[in-house]
Amino acid sequence: MKKIETIIRPSKLDLLIDRLEGIGIKGMNIFEVKGYGAQKGHEEMYRGVTYHIRLREKIRVEMVVSDDMVEKVVDTIIEAAKTGNVGDGKIFISPVEDAIRIRTGEKGEAAL
């Protein structure tokens, strides 16, 4: 099993959830986050004065999936979240040792 965390533009969230449901992802967590990447924020002009905005609002989607779903999930995220402009986000993948469904005690992939 792998944990896939992806940081995306807030405007892409609905589409991404639809697409992930479409490929059979059964559970996920959504977080509102603030962060920055390589551009380290951006400039915004207000009443003629330029301000440096350090953090941008993003959405983090977290899900644990079976190993054989990883490639499909990554492709789906890219397809849903890519605009081609800076700030499209990132995908992070890490190993998950085990999962347990509390109600039944099922373990591993059966618990997803």
Ligand X SMILES: Nc1ncnc2c1ncn2[C@@H]1O[C@H](COP(=O)(O)OP(=O)(O)OP(=O)(O)O)[C@@H](O)[C@H]1O
Q: Using CB under 6 A, pick the residue from 1, 3, 30, 37 that binds ligand X.
A: 37
Q: How far is the CB of 41 from ligand X (least distance, A)?
A: 9
DSSP 111: G
What does the block give as tokens for 109?
A: 């992939």
Q: Using CB under 6 A, pick the residue from 2, 35, 91, 99 that binds ligand X.
A: 35
**Residue 81 in contact with ligand X, rule: CB under 6 A:** no
Whose Cβ is closer to Mg ion: residue 29's or residue 83's?
83
Instruction: Please give the helix or strand (H or E) that residue 39 lies within, else none.
Output: none
Neighbour tally for 47: CB within 10 Å: 4
How far is the CA of 100 from the CAs of 9, 96, 108, in angstroms?
31, 12, 6
Whose Cβ is closer to ligand X: residue 33's or residue 110's?
33
| Positions that interact with ligand X (CB under 6 A) | 7, 33, 35-39, 56, 58, 86-90
